[in-house]
Amino acid sequence: MRAFQQEHAVSTTEDRFIDIEIKLAHQEYLVESLNQRVYEQQQQIDKLEQMCAALVQHVRDQAQSGGGGALAHEPPPHY
């Protein structure tokens, strides 16, 4: 009876270790997937920031050159 209990305890311990290893493998995969997504999002944020900076510069250039200052508030010629 004692040998059965020891064998059952070892089996249960091994099963628990296997379950933990499986869960760890899934966690590692999930962390890697999330890390990749964060990297991709940061690239997209960087690109959008560059686009915003270019747009701001374009608006400043237009304002300085007088292009569109008063004309922006006038109705189109077909009215």
Tens place of pLDDT per residue across the chain (79 aa):
665 566 666 689 999 999 999 999 999 999 999 999 999 999 999 999 999 999 999 999 999 987 655 555 677 778 6
CA distance 4 to 19: 22
What's the pTM? 0.60
Q: Return the structure tokens found at 39.
A: 């990297």
